[in-house]
Amino acid sequence: MSVPAPFEVVPVDGGFSWRLIGSCGRALVYPQETYPSDFAAADAAKVARADLHARALLIDGGAHL
């Protein structure tokens, strides 16, 4: 089973956002949404990460499980 992609929550003007971090250590996804708390941003990152994982399974056919 693969390890889910890590993310970081970052402060932005008036709230928080998140970035998906690739295995290379670089940010791969920079969402435009701003959230009122770091917990809300983390929850949004978890949802997006799960969605990206589900899409990858459709493309890869679950070969990496």
Note the pLDDT of residue 39. Answer: 96
Across the 65 residues of the chain, what is the mean pLDDT of every consecutive 10-residue run?
74 94 87 95 92 85 59
What pLDDT score was predicted for residue 2?
53
CB atoms within 10 A of CB 40: 16
Output the pLDDT for position 63. Answer: 56
d(CA 17, CA 2): 25
| Cβ proximity of 20 and 7 under 8 Å | yes
Cα-only R_g, the chain:
13
pLDDT at 3: 53
Q: H helices within 1-65, ranges in order?
A: 38-60
What is the spatial distance between Cα 43 and Cα 45, in angstroms, rounded to a whole number?
5
| Per-residue pLDDT at 64 | 52
